[in-house]
Chains A and B, each alone.
Chain A
Amino acid sequence: MIEVRALYKDWKEFALKDINLEIKKGEYFVILGPTGAGKTLLLETIAGFYIPDSGEVRIDGRDVTIIPPERRRIGFIYQDYSLFPHLNVEQNIEFGLKSRKKSASQDTNRKRVKEIMDWLSISHLAHRYPATLSGGEQQKVAIGRAIAIEPSILLLDEPLSALDRRTQDHLREELKRVKEEFGITMVHVTHDQTEALVLADRIAVMMQGRIMQVGTPQEIFNKPLNEELADFVGIENVLRGVVRINENGIAEIEVDMGVTIFAVSEYRDGAVKVFIRPEDIILSKSIGDSSARNVMNVRIKELHDMGPLTRVKLDGERSKHSKRIELVALITKQSREELGLKEGDAVYATFKATSVHVVRG
């Protein structure tokens, strides 16, 4: 278990401010945040490359705040893999084995290296030097080198960002395999939401040196704590409104003159913000039978082709008293073609009360 308490660190243009985290044993934990948020600095501080200005880091209950990195047994993998360029693949993987106190015989080490290479299917690269390997191969070697020392924790700094999509998919599976096979606690830093969504047991969102929200992927992507987080996780529909009434946990929120949204919420009154993910909005040409509580008349303003998906900008009905409601929906290309949607069309936008996330504000 990793515990980080009230951690502060200033380093060059980065800063960590009051970081508090608890990462459970065997968990796949992703730290998600935009570039420059201080994610790498946090990871490096956990690894012991930096001593924090204040606060503490505990591993399995032991305070390791000032313990040097070589005595923490934490594996570390950088985005650019940081293989030792003057050592071949075998020597890279063996490097950590030679550090262990009760230094095993060279044969034992070689055997262990062989096992790891087999497990990662890189045995054929044993005598190659890093400069001659592809990005994916290099990252596998980096993984192999890190797990060779049987770490209890593996810290990964954007391990997939420099790879092409296919290799990313492959290595994502490889990382899951590492976690499952060895029960290693994985802490993975990324700016890529899909990566976080796919890999994480839990996610912490980090912005400007602070942890903004910690939760399951479900919570992070559907229940952001504020507008900034909502924006970051791609919730484009943010509406302001006032709760008029709440019946059995369903709040009626007036977001515009005469426009009311139903949402699952505990709020009984007062000003709120309403978040709706674009992919939760269903478009149709006619109102059919539906369990969805919210139906709005809208007009298609713009259609953006985004490969398999189409992003649709919608204008709400005109109202004399307030500005028009604008929504964004994501639909598949197929739906778009079936419905024959084009700009200017009037459609119904439907979404469920459970798809609406409400926060104070």
Chain B
Amino acid sequence: MNSLSGWPGTEKLKREKVYILFLFLGLVLVAFVFITIGNLYYKQAEDFSGLIDAATDLVVLKAIAISITMALASTLIAFLFGVPLAYFLARKEFMGKSVIEGIVDIPLMIPHVVAGIALYGVFMRYGLIGAPLRKLGIVITDAYPGIVVAMLFMSLPYLVDTAREGFKEVDPRLENVARSLGASHWRTFREITFPLAFPSILSGAILSWGRAISEFSAVLIIAYHPISAPILIYEKFTSFGLRASRPISVLLISICLVIFIMLRWLQRRRG
């Protein structure tokens, strides 16, 4: 690159013209998100005391805490069951594989209200799963498990799909070699496959967690209470308008943004 330093600037730009074009195209999307969220923050800045009120309001903090922890629970469940599924899908060819992959992706296409209603039908007191659980004294609807169920349903494809692609990128020959060296299949998975796919799995988990936090419509149907952050925002908006709901949104976005950035940073350091 040193030899380029003597070149006229335009020559350098010419060499990079595809990158420059793509940068400008890409910036459209970045600006799209930035302007939307930035405007929200800008409007909120005019009402800074409202933000302080929200940040010190136990109701608001509880709702945000519920969203974050329930999303974490949902992601852990998605992880526990989704990672094995992703590995299986990445490694095995079988009849009906595309059907299975299609089923996993259904939550991506289904309108969230429809998902919420369908989940309600299964998990309510007489539902296919709700009835036996109720006998065990476990109530899903309008309770913490209901929030988790709705979040899990809407967010699991993000984890499974990303983890599957991650596993696919791990050369099966590495696993073969590990096993030829005497490692059991289980140890091979633990020490070779999983660590190598981990950046993708983590990425999927972050996406899934973010998606879970933002889930509104499905939670609205199956577990309106205990009130999680999106429901509280909706409730505040419809009862009292934007002035009441915006600070909660800003607070939620800020907290999630910080967590997201930290996770991405951790991920980069590992990679």
Contacts and interface: CB of A to CB of B under 8 A. Distances in A.
Do any beta carbons of A and B sit within 8 angstroms of each other in the complex?
A: yes
Contact of B181 (A48, A78, A96, A155): A96
B180 A70 contact: yes
Contacts of A69: 176, 179-180
B226 to A, nearest CB: 42
Interface residues of A, number: 29
A76 B192 contact: no
17 contacts: A44-B176, A49-B176, A70-B179, A70-B184, A70-B185, A71-B182, A75-B181, A76-B176, A76-B180, A78-B173, A82-B171, A82-B173, A82-B177, A84-B178, A84-B196, A99-B184, A146-B180
Given A82-B171, A84-B174, A86-B195, A74 B180 contact: yes
A70 B181 CA distance: 6
Contacts of A149: 181-182
Nearest to B198: A86
B186 to A, nearest CB: 10
A44 B180 CA distance: 10
Contacts of A73: 182
Interface of B: 171, 173-174, 176-185, 187, 191-192, 195-196
A232 interface: no
B231 to A, nearest CB: 42
Interface-centre pick from B178, B185, B196 (highest chain A CB count, 10 A): B178
B183 A85 contact: no
Closest 8 CB pairs of A and B: A99-B182, A96-B181, A76-B180, A69-B179, A49-B176, A70-B179, A82-B177, A99-B183
Given A70-B182, A96-B183, 8 more contacts: A44-B176, A68-B179, A69-B176, A76-B177, A84-B178, A99-B182, A99-B184, A146-B180
A124 to B, nearest CB: 23
A332 B49 CA distance: 93
A129 B184 CA distance: 24
A221 interface: no
